[in-house]
Amino acid sequence: MSRMNVNKRFPSVADLESRALPRLPKFVREYLTNGLGTGTGVRRNREALNDVELMPRYLVEADQPDMRCTLFGREYDAPFGVAPVGLSGLIWPNAESILAEAARAHNIPYTLSTVSNLTLEETRRLTGEMGWFQLYTPKDEEDRHDILRRCEEAGYDTLFVTVDVPYQTRREHDIRNGLSVPPQFDLKTLWQMATHPHWALRMLKTGVPQFANLIPYHGKITSRSKRKQIEAQVQFIKDRIGLHITREVFGDIREHWKGKLLVKGVLDPQEAVAYLDHGADGIVVSNHGGRQLDAAPGAATLLPHVRKAVGPDATVLVDSGVRSGLDIARMLALGADFVMMGRPFMYGVAALDRLGGDHVMNILKAELQSTMGQLGCRSVEELPSHLVNGIE
């Protein structure tokens, strides 16, 4: 498809989502899009954003809205980035390299999940300075310190520690679909794959992806079968990746990580303050895109309360439910310094393969610029002054 056609046919993330979803087998589609329970958490994220009103003003000269943004001393071309999405390479083959390269070209960050299908070293080579890493920590201190060492040696300077998966997650659709890694090739999944040739043919080419970062830790396995190796990695995740980040584990990570440390998945304003007191450099307000607790409040609802609690100088990022440049403006107006997204980038890649990452980033930049122009807003720092319904 030519670039002109892409621009015309898919002017929004919603258009990409509509094209992407039918291209994915059901077990992949539901893993990517759904929340859990009744899906209330996902809806709440959306509704909280829809409720945010922004005041346009027309007496200001804002013909050249400036989207650039500085975080921890580094300038980004826009105030948004790619959130970590585990198993990206299973959702769409090569998704990680596509998004890592697009992020570098757009001068915005790409965050690699611990449970990714490309190694942190390979990814850092693709992202350059635009690479961030998200940690699900091994329980074993030696393994944990080794991952942190590898991150540092690879050149990462920003680490997300995700705290909002303190217990085994129970997603009904994944149970129903028998989602497993490596995928079980029973009649049901084989049929789903056969009826989704875009996905299946690419997956045949790349092969079922491994949990590439964990290969050094799952112990020696004698079999050369790839399936056996993936099974060993999955067993490692089940047995030896710690879910709950206790104060001790957090303290240990802080002690062994010299770079910037951000805590991802915070909703309670008082906890945000506590993490900063314990040495975090920033907070990512998030309900994990409504994927962990159906009753969790929307990230946009809690964001202004977190900002008020931590004060104007603390670094606050946010994700969950953001689907457009307008949503990015809303989150910045509510007090975020920077906005992350998970699913939108995956929709782009599943819809357009190699062109997808670049296209989503172009859409979001164009929408944010247009929103700022409509508001009469010259820079991203001015966005909070356009918020209509702020908290007291």
Indicate the residue among 292 and 377 with the shorter CB distance to ligand FMN: 292
| Site residues for ligand FMN per CB under 6 A | 31-32, 83-86, 113, 115, 134, 162, 264, 286, 288-289, 291, 319-322, 341-343
Residues linked to residue 69 through DSSP beta bridges, in sequence order: 76
CA distance 5 to 2: 5
Indicate the residue among 43 and 74 with the shorter CB distance to ligand FMN: 43
Indicate the residue among 10 and 31 with the shorter CB distance to ligand FMN: 31
- Please report how close the Cβ of residue 249 comes to ligand FMN at its closest, in angstroms: 15
Indicate the residue among 106 and 291 with the shorter CB distance to ligand FMN: 291
- Please report how close the Cβ of residue 82 comes to ligand FMN at its closest, in angstroms: 9
Q: Is the peptide bond before 269 cis (omega within 30 degrees of 0)?
A: no
Which stretch of DSSP H or E encloses residue 69? strand 69-71
β-bridge pairing 74-76 and 69-71: antiparallel
CA distance 288 to 323: 14
Indicate the residue among 3 and 176 with the shorter CB distance to ligand FMN: 176
Give buried/exposed letters for 3-29 (b at 16+ CB in 10 A, else e): eeebeeebebbeebbebbbebbbbbbb
DSSP class of residue 75?
E
CA distance 14 to 377: 25
Amino acid identity of residue 382, one-letter, is: E
Work out the angle at residue 180's Cα, subtended by the Cα atoms of residues 176 and 181, and round it to the nearest 5 degrees: 165
CA distance 277 to 43: 33
CA distance 334 to 231: 44
CA distance 214 to 212: 6
Indicate the residue among 65 and 81 with the shorter CB distance to ligand FMN: 81
- Please report how close the Cβ of residue 28 comes to ligand FMN at its closest, in angstroms: 9
Per the annotation, the verdict on 196 as an active-site residue is no
Among residues 218, 288, 359, 386, the one annotated as catalytic is: 288
Which residues are catalytic, by number? 288
